[in-house]
Structure 1
Amino acid sequence: MAVIKHISIKNSNYNAATDYLTTQHDEFTGKAVLDEQGNHIPRSDFILEGIHCDPYSFGEECEETNKRFNKNQTRTEIKAHHYIISFDPRDRDDNGLTTQQAQALGMKFAEKNFPGHEALVCTHPDGHNSAGNIHVHIVINSVRAYDVERQDFMERPGDALAGHKHHVTKNYLKYLKSQTMLMCQQESFYQVDLLHPAKVRITDREYWAQRRGQAKLDSKIKSSPSLSQHTTQFETEKGFLRRVITEIMTDSHSMEEFQKKMFEKYSIEVYESRGRISYLLPDRQKPIRGRSLGTDFEKEFIQHFISENHIFDQKRIYENIKKSETKSFFSQTSHHKTKQSVRLITDLETCIKAQQSRAYAQKVKISNLQKMADTLAFLQTNGIETMEDLQKLRTSSKEHVKETLAKVKMTESKLHIVDKMYHARMTILKNRNVYKQYLNSPNRRDFREEHTAEIMLYEAARKELQGLTGTKKFPSLKDIQAERSALYRQKNAYYED
């Protein structure tokens, strides 16, 4: 699973980016860590390379480009863009990902998606959380230094021309996420769907609030060990809210009961508006929207969970589990964080709250029985009676996925060509009138200077379409759209499969 993050930089000191990538910085404040003599301390392990520049003179070369095109001269302008691609820690252990391989992938990604820009590409072997997540930093000057061939993802005529600024839109970020997913797929890395909302959404702000809060709590416990009897884990407001919502919806039979219990037990008001749900904590003026917590905390999911969670009554659940011969299987698999369609049970031995409250422990036991029943129903529905059956199903599923992925790749390669044809045909249509005026103009030289971008786009699109079709007679836009739609339907069907 790789994720990509974008940060806009307004700092006019480009060398600060190089310093950050190559020297140690405090993870909370972002300030440089200095030795006793006041000098920067180099990072112990990193790989740094430059594209269209020397990595150690990146700042000077960017300033030279800015002066040449008279850009980035004011304080409010975005001077650079910082992209971070973080790989799953498991890719290092399970798939043999190295910093050298990550750097090569980062260079390829930057050259493809930020063409013509001066760029720094730097790979670090670990992140702030020391989980072993290899990650790649890509820092680009916001002004393109060189003209490049127009690409499909470019939205404006100037996106391929030197002197124009890097343009970040929702569609472009969506494109970069799809490219990140494609990279993971091609390298057989762990991956998640970056194009749809996360089940549990944790922003950078919440992540760092949790890290800072945990550091302060650890410091307090160290100075006063008696505090460790109360709690050792810091919770943000959103973290607390997620835990409470999960607890209450596990014990609710309807949305009305869910709302009532949220208020009675925790004084949290639950509001609904236009199908959306939000939560107002007692010490806040502004409610927290469910979608900011993740899709697992929105109205639709909670309603579905409540209805699914109470199909069986408690007596029937208990009888099913008692008769089940797969109890040992549940106890073995419940401790593994594997991705599955059924929910994992809660380990009472490690659940601090369950040890502190007998009532809560009873709720957890009932919830565990419900989850076990769901698992048992899943096994019975799929005819899985032994571990051998499960292994056979796993093997056949992997083979099916492999075959389907081959079909996906073949469809995507066809779709890539048709997409190029579509964009080229659209570009020709958009600039056709200008090009006709150019051909009929008595002074083509002056007309071309006035309409350079449109004419260049038309000629480049025409040349590309000739190369793709192998003929000067182009297919109609309607035919291309029909073929494109059919390929997208086929691709979606394969992905669904």
Structure 2
Amino acid sequence: MATLKHIASKNSDYTAIEAYLVYQHDAFTGKQLLDEQGKPKLRDSYLLDTLECGDFSFATACLLANRKYGKNTQHGDIKSHQYIISFDPRDAADNGLTMETAQALGLKFCEENFPGHPAIVCTHPDGHNHSGNIHVHIVIGSIRTREVERKPYMQKPRDWREGMKHSSTAQTMRHLRVEVMELCEGAGLYQIDLLNGSKERVSEAEYWARRRGQLKLDRENAALTVAGQQPRQKKFETVKDTLRRQISSVLYRATSFEEFSDRLMQQYGITVKESRGQLSYLPSGRTKFIRAKKLGDKFDKAAVLATLQANAERKPKAQFKQDTIGKLIDIQSRMTEGKGIGYKRWLTKHNLKVMAQTVNLLQEKNLTDEDALNQRIAELETKYHDSLAVVKDLEGRMKFNKELRYHVAAYASTKDIAQQLKTAKRPAAFEEQHCAELTAHRAAAAYFKANDITKLPSPKKLEAEYAQLASEKAKFYEQYKEAKEELLKLKTAKQNVASFFREEEQTQQER
């Protein structure tokens, strides 16, 4: 699973590059680590070679090239390029990858793809996050010091002519990724498809934000643990991590784009917009949209629509009734929570839909009069509670029937063992041998005694009784369910009407 990373540097101090490769540095600040005498600490292990430098050091060779060709004189000029090939941590154990092998592969890669450039090839045994992955740093001076043979992947004169600067374009990176994949394939190492990229787009800045945030959170949690308190959060999340999680929680439940965007706004205050065939997301509290391609492949338009279609096909097509209504939301109270103008627009649209559904429901059921509505709600509450009481009673009788059938069956199957115990020559040994059966027999006898059962009922009679109870429960449960659904709808309608007129009254008073 080798990966390729590119870093362009404008630093004119070429010795700093070699110092970074040779000496230990703090992973977060980038500063050199010093020993007790105040001297830089060497890395525990590394391999380093130079190419195209002649008798000079890498830094000197780069400075001479700059002077000879009169380039890299401005502060904003790119002075060097660094390519990092990170191998899979499993390659060391599974495929026999060593630092020497990795260094040889790095030298070969550099000779074939950066001919004519002064270069350093340095191999380290471990990553900065202690993942155990061997990786190779290939640092090249930006100026080619000799003309080289033109190869098929070279498109412009700068790719082969002397005195021209190296440019890491998208086409160049694609070629180099193919080379890394072929390099690993030839060496028998693990490899992934580098051309299609990662499913989750994590930038360099976000990666380090995660590292710094997790380190800070770990320190805070350690202090809480020492104080005897339980940490609330153990994994740090960036803004993009939180956005990915929130979008995913809605995406896998929605079945249409309208439902997807409405739920994001309602639950998390996230606005979704489409521009030039691409989706962008605006979390609550931000003023700038985050494009889907910055979050990951599954958040772009094509992937979102495919997921929504799959959800719609997978979920049963429920027959939604026309009288299904939602609840009015108090716009003023929500706006005091710091919601944006987009959220206010969505709430206004939502409340208009809800009031239209409320009016339709009350008109269809001929309950536009307040007294008639209250009377119907009272009738449904009575029906609801009566049906629920019957259902609970039947459930209790079914549970007792099931327990009784279990103990009757256990008693009948272990009766012979209990009789044999009475005539056994060695009762202790017999009981130890048939411990499970005797325990079940005694538990059944105790159950019968506790429930005053002196005559065991027929298993067939118990099964018929259970089926009859289940049939009655289904009938009353349907009545309970219908009463509950209609009761909730009418109570919601009544609450919506009251909220609507209360809001109208407040508006008139303000006017």
TM-score above 0.5, yes or no = yes
Aligned to 1:18: 18
Greater radius of gyration (CA): 2
Instruction: Give the whole-Å Cα distance in 2 for the aligned partners of 1:56 and 1:130.
Output: 34
- Residues 58-69 of structure 1 aligned to structure 2 (within 5 Å): 58-69=58-69
- Residues 122-137 of structure 1 aligned to structure 2 (within 5 Å): 122-137=122-137
TM-score, length of structure 2 as denominator length: 0.59
Instruction: Give the whole-Å Cα distance in 2 for the aligned partners of 1:310 and 1:188.
Output: 43
1:157-209 CA distance string (max 9 Å, x none) = 24323222212222111111111122122223222222224321111111001
Aligned to 1:138: 138
Instruction: Give the whole-Å Cα distance in 1 for the aligned partners of 2:186 and 2:315.
Output: 46
On the 8 A contact 2:158/2:166 being kept in 1, the answer is no
On the 8 A contact 2:221/2:231 being kept in 1, the answer is no
Counterpart secondary structure, 1:264:
helix
Q: CA deviation at 1:314?
A: 7.0
Aligned to 2:80: 80
Instruction: Give the whole-Å Cα distance in 1 for the aligned partners of 2:271 and 2:35.
Output: 51
Specify whether residues 93 and 254 from structure 1 end up closer, same or farther in structure 2 by C-alpha distance, changes over 3 A only: farther
Matched, 1:253 2:252: no
1:119-171 CA distance string (max 9 Å, x none) = 00001111122111211100011111222222222222243232222122221
On the 8 A contact 1:48/1:55 being kept in 2, the answer is no
On the 8 A contact 1:55/1:120 being kept in 2, the answer is no
Instruction: Give the whole-Å Cα distance in 2 for the aligned partners of 1:74 and 1:277.
Output: 39
Instruction: Give the whole-Å Cα distance in 1 for the aligned partners of 2:190 and 2:74.
Output: 42
Specify whether residues 55 and 95 from structure 1 end up closer, same or farther in structure 2 by C-alpha distance, changes over 3 A only: farther
TM-score, length of structure 1 as denominator length: 0.60
On the 8 A contact 2:142/2:165 being kept in 1, the answer is yes
Matched, 1:274 2:267: no
Moved more, 191-200 or 250-259: 191-200
Counterpart secondary structure, 2:57:
helix
Q: CA deviation at 1:310?
A: 4.5
Q: Which amino acid aligns with 1:101?
A: T
Counterpart secondary structure, 1:83:
strand
- Residues 219-238 of structure 1 aligned to structure 2 (within 5 Å): 219-225=219-225, 228-238=230-240
Specify whether residues 55 and 227 from structure 1 end up closer, same or farther in structure 2 by C-alpha distance, changes over 3 A only: farther
Specify whether residues 54 and 89 from structure 1 end up closer, same or farther in structure 2 by C-alpha distance, changes over 3 A only: farther
On the 8 A contact 2:254/2:311 being kept in 1, the answer is no
Specify whether residues 13 and 306 from structure 1 end up closer, same or farther in structure 2 by C-alpha distance, changes over 3 A only: same
Q: Which amino acid aligns with 1:29?
A: T
On the 8 A contact 1:123/1:134 being kept in 2, the answer is yes
Aligned to 1:180: 180
Cα RMSD over matched residues? 2.1
Aligned to 1:263: 265
Q: Which amino acid aligns with 1:239?
A: D
Counterpart secondary structure, 1:147:
coil
Q: Which amino acid aligns with 1:19?
A: A
Instruction: Give the whole-Å Cα distance in 1 for the aligned partners of 2:40 and 2:55.
Output: 18
Specify whether residues 305 and 57 from structure 1 end up closer, same or farther in structure 2 by C-alpha distance, changes over 3 A only: same
Specify whether residues 116 and 254 from structure 1 end up closer, same or farther in structure 2 by C-alpha distance, changes over 3 A only: same
Q: CA deviation at 1:74?
A: 2.5
- Residues 308-387 of structure 1 aligned to structure 2 (within 5 Å): 308-313=310-315
Match among 297, 304, 314 for residue 302 of structure 1 = 304
Instruction: Give the whole-Å Cα distance in 1 for the aligned partners of 2:151 and 2:229.
Output: 59
On the 8 A contact 1:27/1:128 being kept in 2, the answer is yes
Specify whether residues 6 and 261 from structure 1 end up closer, same or farther in structure 2 by C-alpha distance, changes over 3 A only: same
Specify whether residues 57 and 197 from structure 1 end up closer, same or farther in structure 2 by C-alpha distance, changes over 3 A only: closer
1:57-114 CA distance string (max 9 Å, x none) = 2112221222222222222221111111111222223222221111111100000000
Unaligned runs of 5+ in 1: 317-497
Counterpart secondary structure, 1:132:
coil
- Residues 30-179 of structure 1 aligned to structure 2 (within 5 Å): 30-53=30-53, 57-179=57-179
Instruction: Give the whole-Å Cα distance in 1 for the aligned partners of 2:82 and 2:197.
Output: 22
Q: Which amino acid aligns with 2:90?
A: R
Unaligned runs of 5+ in 2: 319-511
1:215-255 CA distance string (max 9 Å, x none) = 11111112222665311110011111111122111222222
1:31-62 CA distance string (max 9 Å, x none) = 11122322110000111111122798211222
Instruction: Give the whole-Å Cα distance in 1 for the aligned partners of 2:261 and 2:4.
Output: 36
- Residues 192-231 of structure 1 aligned to structure 2 (within 5 Å): 192-225=192-225, 228-231=230-233
On the 8 A contact 1:84/1:138 being kept in 2, the answer is yes
On the 8 A contact 1:124/1:135 being kept in 2, the answer is yes
Instruction: Give the whole-Å Cα distance in 2 for the aligned partners of 1:177 and 1:106.
Output: 14
Counterpart secondary structure, 1:229:
coil
Counterpart secondary structure, 1:73:
coil
Instruction: Give the whole-Å Cα distance in 2 for the aligned partners of 1:227 and 1:175.
Output: 53
Sequence identity of aligned pairs in percent? 47
Q: CA deviation at 1:118?
A: 0.9
